Structure 1
Amino acid sequence: MSIVDPRSGAPLTPPQDTPSPSQEAAPGDEQLIIDVDRNNIQQLLEFSMQVPVLLDCWAPWCQPCKALMPILEKLTREYRGTFILAKLNIEENQEIAAQLGVRSVPDVKLISQGGLVDHFQGALPEKEIREWLARYFPAPEDAPASPEEQAAEALAQGDATTAREIYEQLVQQSPENYPFQVELARALVAEGRSEEAIALLDNLPPEERDAASARGVRASIEFREEAPSDDGLAALAGRDDSEANYQRALRQVADGDYAAGLEGLLEVMRKDRSYGDDAARKTLLRVFDALGADHPLTVTYRRRLFTLLY
């Protein structure tokens, strides 16, 4: 095995009397992604004297580990030899895990010059991992947009078909990365294929099925069913009563324009609290649940709702 030194471009060759690390990666990645165990842990530390090592401590039973690993592998390829990724199965290497102080997984450790530089725990989103890596490494030049970034951009631009096709590929490549399945469901909804989206969400594990992101997709389906059609919206033109304003706000929420929809619902509530048996407030709470408690719009409009009520 050889690993490329990012400074000189020259290969780094392990000592001849040391076993080479096992390799389990896509073609062309064997210089960057390795498996580590008791047979090559010492060699890994020797490599870290020349090239930093990202040590991913994982376990077969850990679902977050399975979601995180494809992200780490992708970033390792993107950084093109700035560091290598070593994967440690703690179930098969409990003694090493204990020596490294691994208490929960996933646990990702940055090792350089034979010592621990930093670590993070949990399946962080890709954006946060990039920010973490940026503390120690320059960003890779001309890095292409990731498939999930391309899909999100396509969906934002109204190209639901392209987004759905990309997410289908991502799900096929990483079937246990459940956020990809949720986003695939979101793209299906945007294509008008709500029944397929619901079936996909129903097959998720309970903890994923009940998470905020999945609830948000379900809520978008419900809002689409409740919101007026284009013809119904046109029939409301020129009207400024509570019913018309509520229906417009509902349509904005269904279309994903949450800020405008929340503003409209709050205005209906301010002018006519009794409308529809307090429908505006109830719908506001549903949107908060769909967006998640930490979403900036939830935080802002929950505060405004509280002020209006009290």
Structure 2
Amino acid sequence: MPREGAVVMATIAERPLKSPAAARIYRANSFWIKATVTMPIVDPRTGEPLTTDTSAGEPSAGPAQGQQADVVLDVDRSNVQQMLETSMQVPVLLDCRSQGEAASQQLSQVLEKLAREYQGAFLLGRLDIDQEPEIAAQLGVQAAPDVKLISQGGLVDHFQGALPEKQVREWLGRYFPAPEEAPQAPEDQAAEALAAGDAATARRIYQELIQQYPQHTPYQVELARALVADGEADQARELLDNLPPEERDAAPARGVRASIAFGEQAPSAEALAALGDRDDSEAQFQRALRQLADGQYEAGLEALLALMKRDRAYGEDAARRTLLQAFDALGADHPLTVTYRRKLFALLY
């Protein structure tokens, strides 16, 4: 809802769209947002409001593609109005930052990198809230970093906190097409390495990400996952135990703990060989555990489901309980979880 005293612009669908990027923004929001709140900025020196002058004709063109030196603008009280006027043609991503905050400086580096990568799809404005506290207060900034997307003189969206680069890219993706030659995110590189069996590379990437974002606990959970894959279950367990309570008991951490449990419960290679051609319920269960511990989830899930059909009472419903552990290990949205949870439901009901 608009803040008290704020000026409400016309319905988004009725606003003239002057650039493809602006059009993308308004299309993305038009079904959900009926009005945009203009930025009621007052010049601290004069008390006069700084608003976009739409009667002065077409504003100067925004940064052209390839002119990378022009995609970053330092904003202060002398050019806030220019920034608003520029946003009538080219969206402005305003980085409200503090030079004294390491997290804020880190995010600023990420935003500048992305602004150059997007090559003029938006202009990056940088406002030092320590130098311009009055302007920051009027923009509703309580702490840095605070990033605001401004288009047509109005606030479209914002986020607070030093998000990792991948999350900033996802946020920008709501409004702008991804650059054609966008580099692969390090999180995706780590996931691919882990899927390919290269746990050492995944460990290195997540360790580097944790150094950059020590408060981002999902990276610690993923590092624990890589440690399990690399045969370091004790280190993984210690890392999980040191997470904040709300993260320690969340689904991703539970999934890694389930992977650790599979490794501890599964038979060794010698014990597996000793089973020979046995086809009883115990042998079938032990083979399924080994498959889960080795990351052969589909084969393990299929074996557990077959065991449930064959001998539901085995091990006090051990097959069903282990299936649920496997779902935790994979995550609720994993295709195998979705498929086998449906099969389990059909079998039970």
TM norm structure 2? 0.65
Residue 161 (structure 1) aligned to one of 194, 200, 221: 200
In the TM superposition, residue 156 of structure 1 has moved relative to its aligned partner by 1.1
Aligned to 2:65: 7
User: How is 1:4-153 mapped onto 2 (pairs within 5 angstroms)?
Assistant: 5-7=63-65, 9=67, 11-12=69-70, 32=72, 42=81, 44-49=83-88, 51-55=90-94, 75-76=114-115, 78-85=117-124, 109-117=148-156, 130=169, 133-134=172-173, 136-153=175-192
Structure 2: 5+ residue runs without aligned partners?
A: 1-61, 99-103
Aligned to 1:204: 243
In the TM superposition, residue 296 of structure 1 has moved relative to its aligned partner by 3.5
Matched, 1:171 2:171: no
Q: Alpha carbons of 1:296 and 1:234: their partners in 2 closer, same or farther (altered >3 Å)?
A: same
Residue 308 (structure 2) aligned to one of 266, 269, 293: 269
SS of residue matched to 1:54: strand
Matched, 1:246 2:310: no
Aligned to 1:226: 265
- 2:77, 2:135 within 8 Å by CA — same for their partners in 1? yes
SS of residue matched to 1:7: coil
In the TM superposition, residue 153 of structure 1 has moved relative to its aligned partner by 1.3
Q: Alpha carbons of 1:39 and 1:198: their partners in 2 closer, same or farther (altered >3 Å)?
A: farther
Q: Alpha carbons of 1:48 and 1:155: their partners in 2 closer, same or farther (altered >3 Å)?
A: same
CA deviations 1:192-232 (Å, max 9, x no partner) are 11111111112211112122111111111111011122233
CA deviations 1:68-114 (Å, max 9, x no partner) are 988767644543453345578999999978976899x9986532232
Distance 2:172 2:202 in 1: 27
In the TM superposition, residue 10 of structure 1 has moved relative to its aligned partner by 7.0
Distance 1:173 1:236 in 2: 48
Distance 2:131 2:290 in 1: 53
Distance 1:67 1:94 in 2: 21
One-letter amino acid of the structure 1 residue matched with residue 324 of structure 2 = L
Aligned to 2:342: 303
Identity over aligned residues, as a percent?
68
TM norm structure 1? 0.72
Distance 2:73 2:221 in 1: 28
Mean CA deviation greater in 126-135 or 254-263: 126-135
- 2:66, 2:119 within 8 Å by CA — same for their partners in 1? no
Q: Alpha carbons of 1:289 and 1:10: their partners in 2 closer, same or farther (altered >3 Å)?
A: closer
Distance 2:260 2:199 in 1: 15
Q: Alpha carbons of 1:100 and 1:300: their partners in 2 closer, same or farther (altered >3 Å)?
A: farther
In the TM superposition, residue 181 of structure 1 has moved relative to its aligned partner by 1.1
Matched, 1:260 2:299: yes
- 1:55, 1:86 within 8 Å by CA — same for their partners in 2? yes
Q: Which has the larger radius of gyration?
A: 2
In the TM superposition, residue 8 of structure 1 has moved relative to its aligned partner by 5.8
Q: Alpha carbons of 1:82 and 1:280: their partners in 2 closer, same or farther (altered >3 Å)?
A: same
One-letter amino acid of the structure 2 residue matched with residue 211 of structure 1 = A
- 2:221, 2:253 within 8 Å by CA — same for their partners in 1? yes
Q: Alpha carbons of 1:112 and 1:305: their partners in 2 closer, same or farther (altered >3 Å)?
A: same
Matched, 1:183 2:222: yes
Mean CA deviation greater in 264-273 or 109-118: 109-118
SS of residue matched to 1:110: strand
